[in-house]
Structure 1
Amino acid sequence: MLTLLGQREPGATICPSEVARMVAAEMSASDGADWRTGMPIVHAAVDHLVAQGRIRLSWKGRALSARSGPYRIACANGS
């Protein structure tokens, strides 16, 4: 997640499914992982990184204090 954010322009956001797709692509050569099965792990990582203050969440430009429904992920420091 943090690697993917680091590859984007400062202030850009990513979708949690992008993270799951990236992980699944790295794993698919060995076990045929489907990105959807990785979403609970991505959500848990999001919760952890939000609690640490390393990422922030938003939806349609509005800040979210926690995951709820659809959301976008950004670096907490804006970079």
Structure 2
Amino acid sequence: MPPEPKTCASCGRRIEWRKKWERSWDDVRYCSDACRRRKVTDVDRALEASILDLLDDRAAGKTICPSEAARAVAASRGLEGDDAWRELMEPARRAARRLVAAGDVEITQGGSVVDPSTAKGAIRVRRTR
């Protein structure tokens, strides 16, 4: 029986157990080489904090779009250009997935909670109910 899946420390996606990790499963933290190289940066932590701050400013049960956090972090870091926040969209989605793994938020589509590892398209983020 394989052990329970883990969550990638970088992207927040589910890591499925593999036979080749049988001896080192306790040491596995990342789902891929790309995530291992990327790790979690200061920008990633700022995006997590921004998501939580934006949710604190909303009424209970209300949602935000990850783009709101991306825009806030881009503005606070003085990134140039009207579309500078777009470069932070995927990092914002990763930050939201990490917060889901921590139990702080839920990711929804169409008002229903979805699995953050498989969600495609536009998502919304809300506090865990």
In the aligned structure 1, how far is the partner of 2:113 from the partner of 2:97? Answer: 15
For residue 32 of structure 1, give the secondary structure of its aligned residue in structure 2.
coil
Compare relative contact order (CA 8 Å, sep 6+) and give the higher one, 1 or 2: 1
In the aligned structure 2, how far is the partner of 1:26 from the partner of 1:64? Answer: 30
Q: Which letter maps to 1:20? A: A
State the aligned residue count.
Answer: 75
Q: Which runs of 5+ in 1 are unaligned?
A: none
Match of 1:46 in 2: 96
Percent of paired sites with the same residue: 36
Kindly provide the CA deviation profile for residues 19-64 of structure 1, in whole angstroms up to 9, marking residues without a partner as x: 1011111112xx4261001112111111111111110011121111
The one of 80, 84, 92 aligned to 1:32: 80
Q: Which letter maps to 1:36? A: R
The one of 120, 126, 129 aligned to 1:68: 120
Match of 1:58 in 2: 108
Q: Which runs of 5+ in 2 are unaligned?
A: 1-50
For residue 74 of structure 1, give the secondary structure of its aligned residue in structure 2.
strand
Moved more, 31-40 or 8-17: 31-40
Q: Which letter maps to 2:66? A: P
The alignment's TM-score, normalised by the length of structure 2, stands at 0.54
The alignment's TM-score, normalised by the length of structure 1, stands at 0.85
Runs of 4+ in 1 over 6 A off after TM superposition: none
For residue 73 of structure 2, give the secondary structure of its aligned residue in structure 1.
helix
